[in-house]
Amino acid sequence: MIKIDKLDIKKAHEGLVNGDFSAVDLAKACIKNIEEKDKDINAYLEVYDDVIKQAEYADKKIKNKDNITELTGIPIALKDNILNEGKTVSAASKILENYKATYDATVVKKLKDAGAVFIGRTNMDEFGMGSSTENSAFGVVKNPYDTNRVAGGSSGGPAAAVAISSALGSFGSDTGSSVRLPASFCGLVGLKPTYGAVSRYGLIAFGSSLEQIGPMGKTVGDVEILFNTTSGYDKMDSVSLPEDFYSKHKKKEKLIIGVPTHFMKEGIDEDVLENFNQSVEKLKSLGYEVKEITLPNIKYSLSVYYIVMPAEASANLARFDGVRYGLHKDGDSVIEDYFETRESGFGTEVKRRIVLGTHVLSSGYYDAYYNKANIVRNLIKSDFDNAFRNVDVILTPTSPTPAFKIGEKKDPLSMYLSDIFTVQANLTGMPALSVPSGSVVRDGKELPVGLQIIAPLLRENILFEIGKRFSGENN
């Protein structure tokens, strides 16, 4: 049997082209791992019934040398909010439990064109609202390193799927941390791309000015392949960037790294901070210059995010009313139909954010909360723009803690603090990459932690360059 846990996308591609194994072999190895491991993890909501058929088609392409790409025959897992035509997509919510996608998301179409094999749809926090995948209507995703702990969220399913080698790459969505945090908790590489670099067409909307579809993989090189395959202009996404959006950037000979030490004084576990400091020293040893920087308004990031995000969620989720699609519950009137449907269909965290978002958008509070938050959002963006005049990237830990225990964070505010280092990239549109930086010990088990590298708009190439060097990957 093929040892898929030893493979990444690059190695699998070489094996497929050389005839060491087939795409069907890869697909069967993934399904075997799901059967053996996922009962304890709950990463998958559905394994597609046409996986082997997809793999057989990929094998024919490889045999005939028909438009082979690095992703032809490669097994990929999808987050349950990315549309795959003809397949169920529920956003892990009862309100969309039986909804079938009527078209392909642009990302899915590009992956199909590249010959990727879709293994299935994976679990998530309902509508992407959460940092732990404890808010799914279909059960918690458990961390493969310690099943008493969370896999991170909201893309916990896609992360766990790769971590148990039931897929060689996956796609999630990142609105505040949702690709990077689970990647960190599960020992993977995760990318939140520049806002507009990857089309959101076919992504179930949550926070429209914040969210991006992003890849996860075992290596930086794999994530680069996934990003390059799916990025680019799409007329179906109004914020999509033009085709030549990378052409103006020239490679620098020496890169300078900025570290906002002032932002790491409180709220971070001591051993996580020690791991981060060791990571900084490692980058210095690789020849990078490191400068301390100040971001004056960064301390307001989480407050701004938790005003802007619920406001956008409230507007986006208004469409789920039981009239057009999804769950429907009968009431005594049309309004009662809405109330009954939304009460039955939405989970607690989704309701909390809708109520909060509706409040900050109401006539009496719009200026006091939403408008003020957007003013501070612009100040935060300006701080990063100023910092990037002197440094090329900015480093932080991905998370202030390793994966925490399931049920540990009962207070919503303590859960929201998990995003303290990640929301800035979503507020500003910047790309950010989480790479594994080692581990810390909890309850006798080694748990992964991640290093976050943030770059200016459109500079994913710098993230990949530094990430590969840090991880010891060959270019």
Q: Hey, what are 355's tokens?
A: 């109520």
109 pLDDT higher than 90? yes
Question: Nearest CA to 50 among 74, 72, 24, 68?
Answer: 24
Q: Is residue 8 part of a domain?
A: yes
Per-residue pLDDT tens digits for 212-258: 999 999 999 999 999 999 999 999 999 999 887 766 666 777 999 99
Question: Nearest CA to 210 among 129, 279, 320, 282?
Answer: 129
Q: Is residue 44 part of a domain?
A: yes
pLDDT confidence tier of residue 308, bands split at 50, 70 and 90: very high
pLDDT confidence tier of residue 100, bands split at 50, 70 and 90: very high
Dist. CA 72–CA 54, nearest whole Å: 10
pLDDT confidence tier of residue 475, bands split at 50, 70 and 90: low
Question: Which residue bears the tokens 């099943």?
Answer: 147
338 pLDDT higher than 90? no
Write down the pLDDT at residue 344. 83
SS3 of residue 198 by DSSP: strand
What share of the chain in percent tops pLDDT 90? Answer: 88
Q: Which residue has the higher pLDDT, 414 or 225?
A: 225
445 pLDDT higher than 70? yes
The stretch 304-316 carries a mean pLDDT of: 97
Q: Is residue 274 part of a domain?
A: no
Write down the pLDDT at residue 322. 83
Residues 6 or more apart in contact with residue 466 via CB below 8 angstroms: 255, 257, 283, 288, 393, 453
The stretch 292-319 carries a mean pLDDT of: 96
Write down the pLDDT at residue 248. 62
343 pLDDT higher than 80? yes
Q: Which residue has the higher pLDDT, 407 or 324?
A: 407
The whole domain housing 97 covers 4-230
CATH number of the domain enclosing 32: 3.90.1300.10
Alpha-helix runs per DSSP H in 205-297: 220-230, 270-285
Residues 6 or more apart in contact with residue 392 via CB below 8 angstroms: 252, 255, 256, 257, 455, 456, 459, 462
Element (H, E) at 57: helix 51-63
Report the half-sphere exposure of 91 (CA within 13 A, side-chain side): 25
Q: Is residue 350 part of a domain?
A: no
Write down the pLDDT at residue 250. 67
DSSP annotation of 176 reads S
Dist. CA 364–CA 234, nearest whole Å: 38
The stretch 21-25 carries a mean pLDDT of: 98
Q: Hey, what are 402's tokens?
A: 């390793």
Annotated active-site positions, please? 79, 154, 178
The stretch 313-325 carries a mean pLDDT of: 89
Q: Please state, rounded to an integer, the average pLDDT across all residues of the chain.
A: 95
Are the C-beta atoms of 431 and 459 separated by less than 8 Å? yes
Write down the pLDDT at residue 247. 61
Domain count, the chain: 1
Q: Is residue 365 part of a domain?
A: no
Write down the pLDDT at residue 363. 86
Write down the pLDDT at residue 60. 97
Query: Range with the lowest mean pLDDT among 121-130, 188-197, 206-215, 316-325?
Result: 316-325
Dist. CA 459–CA 461, nearest whole Å: 5
Q: Is residue 207 part of a domain?
A: yes
Q: Hey, what are 364's tokens?
A: 């009496």
Q: Is residue 34 part of a domain?
A: yes
Beta bridge partners of 434: 190, 452
Question: Which residue bears the tokens 């050389």?
Answer: 18
What is the pTM assigned to this prediction? 0.96
Dist. CA 193–CA 216, nearest whole Å: 11
The stretch 108-128 carries a mean pLDDT of: 98
Per-residue pLDDT tens digits for 3-14: 999 999 999 999
Q: How far is CA 248 from the centre of its chain?
A: 27
Q: Is residue 260 part of a domain?
A: no
pLDDT confidence tier of residue 303, bands split at 50, 70 and 90: very high
51 pLDDT higher than 90? yes
163 pLDDT higher than 80? yes
Write down the pLDDT at residue 333. 82
pLDDT confidence tier of residue 280, bands split at 50, 70 and 90: very high
Per-residue pLDDT tens digits for 370-382: 999 999 999 999 9
Q: Hey, what are 420's tokens?
A: 């303290």
Dist. CA 140–CA 406, nearest whole Å: 8
pLDDT confidence tier of residue 324, bands split at 50, 70 and 90: confident
The stretch 39-68 carries a mean pLDDT of: 97
